[in-house]
Amino acid sequence: MPEATVAQKLRYRLDNLFARGSVVMILLLVVATLTLVFLISLVVLAFHLSGTQSFAEIMWQSALRMLDPGTIAEDETWPYRITMLVVTIGGILLVGATIAVLTNGLDVWMRKLRRGRSIVVESGHTIILGWSPYIIEIIEQLILARVNAHNPCITILANKDKAEMEDFLREHVSDIQKARIVCRSGSPIDAVDLRIVSLDTAKSVIVLRNNAVNADVELVKILLSLFKDAKQYHARYHIVAEVSDASNIALMEMVHEHQVELVKVGEFISRLVAQTSRQPGLSVVYSELLDFAENDLYFVAQPDRRTRTFGETVLLYENGVVIGVRNRAGKHRLNLPADHVIDPDDELVLMAHDSRILRRETRALEIDSDAIVIGPKATRLAEHILFIGWNWRSAAVIKELDVFTVPGSTLTILALDPQGAMQRELAGLVLKNITVDAHVCDTTNRDALHRHLRAYDHVIIMAYADIFDIQHADAHTIVTLLHMRYFVQHSSHRFNIVSEIMDSRNRELIESSDVDDFVVSDNMVSLLLAQISENRGINAVYTELLTVVDNEIYLKPITDYIDIAHPVSFHTLVTAGLRRNEVAVGYRIANASPGLGEGQSVVINPRDKFALVQFTLHDKLIVISEEE
């Protein structure tokens, strides 16, 4: 290869300089402009072309001619005019080039701003990594959680256009003016892009699951990037992430060493469907606990250093109910014995409307001991459940139902099964309490449904998520649900219905004010993610409540606790529950009066715990208990 010429070497070096960006190019043009002005001024001074003007005045006049070509009209002698003409032509070229470079640089800068690549300068903000259809619910819940905070900030990093994200959020998020939502375009699995959102100063990070088959694989990459980039992670923020496949939990723990709160989406939805389908009204309890608009669960430090028993602590607050404690090691215990002495350093697990405005109860509790009864535990009966539809979560739901039911229970399955997945998964199930009878049929056909209809206790409708796209699957669910509501309206037998909807936006089409008719969608996952992001460690409490191993939420006959002949206060209900080693957190009125309004038959953490309530035979007490 021949040796490069001087011109080639010069051009190569200039190319390298220009490649550094607009700032370097502008500086070079400014230097070239000043150099030309200086050299021309030397020529004018050396040949006395401008008379008696000083060198500084000559440079000033030359600079003016470069900036304003019209100035040359005032020149008098031809040598001076020709010299200034050279300056003017040079000015047109150099200044024009500078303006062009500056304009291009500003355009690049504006396009970069629109792309959302500038560093987020925030502190105490919540970061959302990724984008999903239910990001709206997460943002709205975070806004509710921080309604009393000063100028709260939520930052989103996703593989979407910044302007597109901002427009979408402005159109769909209610009360968006109550928080600053900062959108940035970038990949959550890219460690370089993660630096944009200021991880080190964040309060929490929510990692959303995408719909890809390898969603958990991407989550591993995100976690590795988070831990690599963040400094002093433990003291700064905590991470909440969705896991699609529970079998990947062990892999996640190798990456984060138990430092991330993982939400097992499949297990959460399956357990929620199983529990809410069996207990009418339980859906309202979970909806209220997961929604920041009503009651929530909190960890609260004890107001003083006094030693108390759990029974004395349950109603310590006027506007809350204590349901357990958490020790200094971060381990919680729910529904302790009434005589258990609580360590003064333990935190209380509290169900309250707002942990920031707690009020200590100063009045003496009103307990009607004569109204409390300790009746025999009700005999559990076999349950008969209709299960319509099938997807990858169905087998998990059936296993949960088998744990909660007693021997002799039956499960009738009606579903499309074009790929044989239902038959294969049913063949692999080992059930102790439930007998399964499966039928393949079109579940949107009223006659097909009617042929198998009998006196069921509960109905569960699962979405065909494995067969159809989201909208088509939801359409099948909606039609089936409407058929079942028709049967309820035209039959003397009532049963509660739990339906699974894939797209949370479709919930509004079929939601009912009937507390026995519940629609489960991924928006419940978004509520849980928001709760965990705001309350570090609360995930373990919700996991226990939804798992049959320890304590769960039950709705039990009120007559097992009190004599319904006389009205009683909530204090009496709590005391009756403690005598059965349970924590009462609310009640359900079977026939709510019109004054209560639609959907108000379920009352959680009553605001007036002194109010006397007259209960009837079919009312329920909502308790946290180890057994049904």
For residue range 565-613, list pLDDT tens digits in order: 989 999 999 999 999 999 999 999 886 544 444 445 889 999 889 999 9
CATH fold of 384-530 reads Rossmann fold (3.40.50)
Q: Which long-range contacts (CB under 8 A, 24 or more apart) does 263-266 make?
A: 263/525, 263/528, 263/529, 263/532, 263/539, 265/209, 265/522, 265/525, 266/392, 266/393, 266/396
Q: Taking the alpha carbons of 111, 112, 114, 115 in that order, is the dihedral positive or negative? A: positive
Indicate the angle between helix axes 22-46 and 55-67, nearest 10 degrees: 130
Phi and psi at residue 261, to the nearest 5° = -90, 110
Among 44-48, 238-242, 478-482, 533-537, name the one with the lowest average pLDDT.
44-48
Angle at 172 between CA 499 and CA 509, to 5 degrees: 30
Q: Which pLDDT value is given to residue 395?
A: 92
Radius of gyration of the chain (CA): 35
pLDDT in tens, 27-45: 777 777 778 778 877 877 7
Residue 233 pLDDT > 60, yes or no?
Answer: no
**Range name among 106-120, 178-192, 278-292, 561-575 with the lowest pLDDT average:** 106-120
Q: Which residue has the higher pLDDT, 48 or 284?
A: 284
CATH topology of domain 126-258: Rossmann fold (3.40.50)
Per-residue pLDDT for 99 more than 80? no
The more confidently predicted of residues 471 and 1 is: 471
Domain spans in the chain, listed from the N-terminal domain onward: 17-115, 126-258, 384-530
* pLDDT, position 599: 43
Q: pLDDT tier at 493 (50, 70, 90 boundaries)?
A: confident
- Indicate the average pLDDT of the chain: 82
Decide whether 17-115 matches 384-530 in CATH topology. Answer: no
Instruction: Output the pLDDT for position 595.
Output: 40
Question: Does an H or E element contain 578, and which?
Answer: helix 570-578
Taking the alpha carbons of 71, 72, 75, 80 in that order, is the dihedral positive or negative? positive
pLDDT at 200: 83
Confidence of residue 112 (pLDDT cuts 50, 70, 90): low
pLDDT at 597: 41
321: pLDDT strictly greater than 90? yes
Q: Do residues 148 and 356 make contact, with C-beta atoms less than 8 angstroms apart? A: yes
Residue scoring higher pLDDT (5 or 73): 5
pLDDT, position 413: 95
Structure tokens of 517? 């008719």
Flag whether pLDDT at 264 surpasses 80: yes
pLDDT over 70 percentage in the chain? 86
210-219, 231-240, 346-355, 373-382: lowest mean pLDDT where?
Answer: 231-240
Please count the other Cβ atoms lying within 10 Å of the Cβ belonging to residue 617.
9
Q: Which residues contact 27 (CB under 8 A, 6 or more apart)?
A: none
Span 17-115: which CATH code? 1.10.287
For residue 236, name the pLDDT band (cuts at 50, 70, 90).
low
Q: How confident is the model at residue 399 (pLDDT cuts 50, 70, 90)?
A: very high
- Do the Cβ atoms of 409 and 434 come closer than 8 Å? yes
Q: What is the pTM of this model?
A: 0.79
The structure tokens listed for 192 are 């370089």
